[in-house]
Structures are given as structure tokens and as C-alpha cells.
Amino acid sequence: MKLSGNRLLDYADLNALIRYYMMTMSEIDYRAMVISLKKEKNAVILAHNYQLPEVQDVADVIGDSLALSRSAAMSDADTIIFCGVHFMAETASIICPDKLVLIPDPDAGCSLASTINPRELKSWIAEHPDAVVVSYVNTSAEVKALSDYCCTSSNAVRIVNSIPSNREILFLPDMFLGSYVAKMTKRKNIFVWPGECHVHAGINAQDINDMLKKFNSADFLVHPECGCTSTTLYHISTGELQKSAHILSTEGMMKHALSSDAKQFVVATETGILYRMKKENPHKQFIPIKRDAICKYMKLVNLEKIRNSLVNSVFRVKVPPRTAAKARAAIERMLAIS
């Protein structure tokens, strides 16, 4: 802590120093407890790229939702602490039905996933009984269970192209990704659900163009896995952007940051990923497209809550077997095409 000028410590400064010291100590304590408990309980900690730095620092694996679930399936841990949002923990439960899947904060939802519920999807299907349903991975397990295919932003075009051209398609829940897919596949028979992610709905073409003018030698990275970047993908497809972007998965983005000669990168996604980028590339500069592109749900998880999960085995995420089997089929159909 710095004091301005040469003034002496006063009572308020001392209090602030003590509070700062205690806060730092408690963070260290929680970190030590989490590391020791995870060994004791044979648990694995999976953290999404958008998690807080303190959470990423104790994680065994950091990545996007589907990659994390696949890591969970390969792990021999009994317990999975899923540091992300609820639909991601559900996906881990669908892929790993025999493991105990815990989410440290049960209120960690997703504004995009919550734009459609099973009742709404059923009535949409009733209007288009012969349509093929393609759901983005950012959906609840029940919505996945009503779907023919699951998809991510990096494989959505491929999945839709694999469906016979005479079949109608219901694409949900992200309207920007859906519009992008319709444009890329040139299909007229694709119906798109009007959902959006509150974080990326806030990133518009003007913001992106302003940043590209300001940092014109920077590489521009777009993360394709989360619905979070679909707004940007849409703006690229409409030609509103003045410069082409590198559309990369998380790992592709990390590899690109490592191998590129560029010294600056403008990153169009939730700002949490910048922590990992900076950590792995300390001599390069990573600039968020918008400083306030922050997912409040992702930031609900912290060390104290992870410790609570490990001690009390809360909060369990378990998808009922019948729902899980149907949702798994939609995910497996996607994996067979990807």
C-alpha cells in the first residue's frame, strides 16, 4: 500500500493496512485449504477461462465448457468441482454420470441459456414438427434432451451443413450465432431463437472498429466456443468489421498468442481469459475489446466457496438419467460430425 507524499501513518491507514493484511492472509489460507482438500477428497478442479484469477490458480484444468467436460471424463477423480456456470456443470454430469459433480455457487447461471426453457422449446417444435433441432452448448440439460444436435460456435456451420437441405432447422438459443450460421450455409429454412448473451450483446461493430483503429498492428482474436463471441462472429459475417479476425478456440487462441510475432492482441470475449493469456505470455500485451465485458455469473465462484464445496460436498449437479441419456445422444451426434 502506498501513502501519498511523506505523511505519517494515521489511525485510518493502520486499519486499512490490517484489513489488507488479513484479506491477503485469508486468501492464502483458502488456497492452501483448497489444495489440501482436493487431494484428500480425490477431487479435480475444472475452471472455465472466464473464472477469477484466484480460481484459475488452483484449477487442475482451465478451458472451455466442452473441453472441461471431456477432461472430467478422462480424469480418475471421484469428485469434480466445476468452476463455471450451471449448464456447464450439467454437461459434465451428462458426460460423467458416475462422478460427483459440484458447483461452488448454485446461482451461477447463464443469461443466454435461460432465454429458452423446455416448455417454450416444445411449443416451438409443435409449430415445426418435422424440423431438426440444433442447440448451442449454452443450454440447460432439459433443452439439450429435446434437441437432435448439440453444437458449439466452432462447429455450428458444419453441423447444419450435415443436415439434408430440404429439412427445416430450429436453431437456438443465440440469435447472432444463428444468423451467422444461416448466412454461412445459405439456408433459407433455418429458424433462429431470439436469445442473446448479455455480455456480448454489449459488444458492437463500432466498439470493435474503434479498437482496431487505435491498435491497428494488433492481432484481433475471437473465441468461437462460447456463445459469448457470437455477436462478433455475426458482425464479421455482415462485413461490418474493417479487418479480418482470427476466429480461434481457446486453445487455438492460446497457441496463436504464443506463436504470433505480434506484440499486441485485441481480445473480443469475456475479460477473464486475459489473465491466462498474460500469465503464459508475460512479454505481450492483451487488450480487452471492452473492459466491462464481464460475466457476473462467472465471477460468483471464489476460493471460499470452492473450499465450502469440498468440505460439505455442495452444491451437487445431477441430471436425471433419462434426461441425461437424451442430452448425451445430442452431444454424441455433434461429436460424430466434429
Residues in touch with ligand SF4 (CB under 6 A): 85, 110-112, 138, 197-199, 226-228, 270, 295, 297-298
Nearer to ligand SF4, 27 or 120 (CB): 120
Nearer to ligand SF4, 88 or 121 (CB): 88
Smallest gap from residue 335 Cβ to ligand SF4 (A): 21
Nearer to ligand SF4, 268 or 295 (CB): 295
The bridge status of strand 43-48 relative to strand 61-63 is: parallel
DSSP 3-state of 78: coil
Smallest gap from residue 290 Cβ to ligand SF4 (A): 12
Nearer to ligand SF4, 71 or 138 (CB): 138
Task: Find cell 478422462 and name the residue.
Answer: 74
* CB-CB contact of 104 with 306 (8 Å): yes
Return the beta strands (E) in the chain as ranges: 43-48, 61-63, 79-83, 100-102, 132-136, 149-151, 169-172, 190-192, 219-222, 246-247, 264-268, 285-288
Alpha carbons 41 and 199: distance in angstroms, whole number: 35
* CB-CB contact of 287 with 64 (8 Å): no
Nearer to ligand SF4, 266 or 298 (CB): 298
Smallest gap from residue 27 Cβ to ligand SF4 (A): 24
DSSP 3-state of 221: strand
Smallest gap from residue 65 Cβ to ligand SF4 (A): 8
* CB-CB contact of 150 with 137 (8 Å): yes
Smallest gap from residue 203 Cβ to ligand SF4 (A): 11
Nearer to ligand SF4, 38 or 86 (CB): 86
Nearer to ligand SF4, 50 or 149 (CB): 50
Tally Cβ neighbours within 10 Å of residue 133.
21
Alpha carbons 62 and 325: distance in angstroms, whole number: 26
* CB-CB contact of 218 with 286 (8 Å): no
Nearest of 229, 270, 263, 228 to residue 246 by alpha carbon: 229
Smallest gap from residue 293 Cβ to ligand SF4 (A): 8
- Exposure string (b/e) for 219-250, b if CB count within 10 Å is 16 or more? bbbbbbbbbbbbbbbbbbbeeebeeebbbbbb
Smallest gap from residue 232 Cβ to ligand SF4 (A): 13
Nearer to ligand SF4, 199 or 330 (CB): 199
Smallest gap from residue 85 Cβ to ligand SF4 (A): 5
